[in-house]
Structure 1
Amino acid sequence: MRVLALEGQKNLGSFIDFPHDLYREDSNYVPELYIAQRDMLTPGKHPFHDHSKVQLFLAYDDNNKVCGRIAAILNNNHNAYNQATDGFFGFFDCVNEQGVANSLFAAAEKWLKDQGATTAIGPVNFSTNETCGLLISGFDSPPVVMMPYNFPYYLDLIDRAGYRKKVDLLAYDVPYATHNDRSVRLLDTLQARLQRSNITIRKINIKDFKKEAAKLREVYNAAWDQNLGFVPMTEQEFDHMAKDLKLVLNPEFCLVAEQGDRFVGFVLGLPDLNQVLRKVKRGRLLPFGIFKILFGLKKIDWLRVLTLGVISDYRKLGIEACLYGLIIRNSVANNIKGAECSWMLEDNYLMNNAIEAINGTVSKKFRLFEKTI
């Protein structure tokens, strides 16, 4: 068995495709779109590479067959913002062999140490602003859009490689048939109270999306700045993400709270595209994948609420309850049966209690690990 450090585009296709072969018998696996993964991992295509470094590794067995992959990630913006010397690992997939996992981690850790990192944290792809965490419970259903999935044995592979828990992340299921609809019933009262403070809630304006996205970035970078592992998104990174999200964005599920011309909070829900993507073979849009997506969009019946935040000076005014109530009401009107709220830090008691108050229950848990290197 050998571990190869990738150079340029050589073997990038093998790196992206390895999970498709590894999970080919797993009915819950959802393939990432090949074109999106290729662009993400290519300098010049994704703005993360403008300020940070990524090194990809592939493990090959004695038959020259890929048996594992990992990315070593040096996030310079994270380290500057947090005054840290952290390194990260991500895109980890591996056969159930400890020797292969150990070799992959050793290669990633050596590269990170050579870059000056003293800690390895993961899995993250590339930061907590993107897909992150290892699934440790809730293997009985597919992941929702932009959430990770992995085999249960990964936990043992990472533990035995010397990594320890840093924090757990929670995903809550909120089926609308059994949720507590108090926030919906009180919407008129809550909104009237907010209006007395000149705070209104409305749908995102798609026709002026560029200007709206700039305001959303300000709220995002302000509302989440105290979260563990947070790093502000650059203008280029946020624009890149917003451009992708705009393709599937439904204004009914993207609501902003504003006071005058200032955004003070927002909630973003996405239709669970994974209900369609799991049917797109090996993540290829061509020749037939694009049609499966187009024809499947109208059949999606689940939502992922991936961000809900209010800047600190405006919390506990009822904005959060209004955003929850409105997105639930709009979802029901669009034949959505429920939502996954993910992810939430395990110690974010304010938000976790709010979700539990509407009868949300923890459906999946994810873990971030760390190791001194």
Structure 2
Amino acid sequence: MTEATPVQQRKPLTTAQGVTIQPVHTGKQLAQFIDFPHDLYKDDPYYVPELHIAQRDLLTPGKHPFHKHSTLQLFLAWRDNKIVGRIAAILNKNHNEFNKANDGFFGFFDSINDEGVAASLFQAAEQWLKEKGTRTMIGPVNFSTNETCGLLVDGFDSPPVAMMTYNKPYYLDLIDRQGLQKKVDLYAYKITEDAFNDKALKMMNLLKQRLSQRGVTIRNINMKDFKAEAERIREVYNAAWDKNMGFVPMTREEFDYTAKDLKLIADPDFIQLAELNGKLIGISICVPDINQILIKIKRGRLFPTGLIKLLTGRKKINSLRVMVLGVLEEYRKMGIEACFYGSIMEKGLAKGMKWAEASWVLEGNEMMNRAVEHINGKVYKTYRIYEKAI
């Protein structure tokens, strides 16, 4: 299920805290790894279970393209014959190549509120990463900033939206006590329906007219030519985000894998492309908040009733996540981003959406933070990525 290791490394390790750390190597252990959060959060009204089949494929070599260039090791923590925590140690070789770094990552961290359990898990992850020659441990990141990442540190009073993380407040103490320091915060903005008014509509239309005079047009994605559109989007995505902290370009296979999943829930009215004389220069990707359905699917199982909930619940979704919004560097400050946001709100209101989340935005990305604040977006959740020299 994870990278092959010598026999001695496969043996469980009992720590001084009375915790047994077990490397995950079998299908049964992988299922236990995926299911542990369901038990930990069973009484939490804001917890959204991940779909079991999606998590299984994500973590299985041969299923997800990440495993073609990189590797990881999953660990389970046991005490008194009961699973009490989990963690993944991740070596993302593409990240290190692109960023000329020597970083390791941790992800998929969950634990009971016990410092001994957390310490045992992080010791196991650190040791594995040290053996791989890395000098820094960064996380939580699952597997890169292109997937889910960040620890929720503020905004525990509502469920996460699609493809965002959630955790209990006590995780902050557990991680702080392991010597990890803040690397960067990520903001999630809430934009409500009252943020869009006649003034905003007039401004958007004026900007579109000015852009049109300069040869820039904005259109919806062509779902009939999805494969070709996705490849063009990938090229802009990898170019527009290449200077962001910790960014790693997505391989064609990784992007296709993600695009295939997004296509299942996508509404073409919320995937917009900005073109200059036919050249793609900006993208905006919003997805319906599928978590409003997933929160009702017990333990992330589609059968026997989960699939029915998934198929019938989409019409009741009343919010969006603005997941990707960016423009190639040389075409920024033209007003394209503002037109994207304005169009999202206009179409969202027409389709009965009550609010949207724009996430995530790096705390140091002044241009994007100003753009969201300009349309009355308010930071309502904050996520954090940590780091530690090892």
TM-score category, normalised to shorter length: over 0.9
Residue 53 of structure 2 aligns with an amino acid whose one-letter code is I
> Could you say which residue in structure 1 is the equivalent of 2:70?
52
Spell out the pairing of 1:87-106 with structure 2 (5 A cutoff): 87-106=104-123
> Could you say which residue in structure 2 is the equivalent of 1:205?
222
Q: 2:39 aligns with which of 7, 21, 40?
A: 21
> Could you say which residue in structure 1 is the equivalent of 2:51?
33
- Give the alignment's Cα RMSD to 1 decimal: 0.9
Does residue 263 of the first structure (1) align with residue 303 of the second (2)? Answer: no
> Could you say which residue in structure 1 is the equivalent of 2:10?
none
1:7 deviates by: 1.2
> Could you say which residue in structure 1 is the equivalent of 2:381?
364
SS in 2 for 1:31: coil
Asked if the contact 2:270–2:284 (Cα under 8 Å) also holds between the matched residues in 1, the reply is yes
What CA distance in whole angstroms lies between the structure 1 residues aligned with 2:186 and 2:45? 24
Residue 46 of structure 2 aligns with an amino acid whose one-letter code is N
What CA distance in whole angstroms lies between the structure 2 residues aligned with 1:112 and 1:210? 37
Residue 217 of structure 1 aligns with an amino acid whose one-letter code is R
1:189 deviates by: 1.6
> Could you say which residue in structure 1 is the equivalent of 2:313?
296
What CA distance in whole angstroms lies between the structure 2 residues aligned with 1:228 and 1:183? 31
> Could you say which residue in structure 2 is the equivalent of 1:276?
293
Spell out the pairing of 1:127-206 with structure 2 (5 A cutoff): 127-179=144-196, 182-206=199-223
After the TM superposition, which segments of 4 or more aligned residues of structure 1 sit over 6 Å from their partners? none
SS in 1 for 2:194: coil
What CA distance in whole angstroms lies between the structure 2 residues aligned with 1:260 and 1:110? 53
What CA distance in whole angstroms lies between the structure 1 residues aligned with 2:71 and 2:30? 16
Residue 157 of structure 1 aligns with an amino acid whose one-letter code is L
Q: 1:11 aligns with which of 18, 21, 29?
A: 29
Does residue 230 of the first structure (1) align with residue 247 of the second (2)? Answer: yes
**What percentage of aligned pairs have identical amino acids?**
60
Residue 136 of structure 1 aligns with an amino acid whose one-letter code is V
1:182 deviates by: 3.9
Asked if the contact 1:180–1:359 (Cα under 8 Å) also holds between the matched residues in 2, the reply is no
What CA distance in whole angstroms lies between the structure 2 residues aligned with 1:174 and 1:65? 42
Asked if the contact 1:213–1:239 (Cα under 8 Å) also holds between the matched residues in 2, the reply is yes
1:181 deviates by: 5.7
What CA distance in whole angstroms lies between the structure 2 residues aligned with 1:74 and 1:288? 37
Residue 162 of structure 1 aligns with an amino acid whose one-letter code is G
SS in 2 for 1:43: coil
SS in 2 for 1:226: coil
Asked if the contact 2:70–2:92 (Cα under 8 Å) also holds between the matched residues in 1, the reply is yes
Residue 142 of structure 1 aligns with an amino acid whose one-letter code is P
> Could you say which residue in structure 2 is the equivalent of 1:347?
364
TM-score scaled by length of structure 1: 0.98
Q: 1:65 to 1:181 in 2, by over 3 A?
A: farther
Asked if the contact 1:179–1:360 (Cα under 8 Å) also holds between the matched residues in 2, the reply is no
User: Unaligned stretches of 5+ in structure 1?
Assistant: none
Residue 262 of structure 2 aligns with an amino acid whose one-letter code is L
> Could you say which residue in structure 2 is the equivalent of 1:248?
265
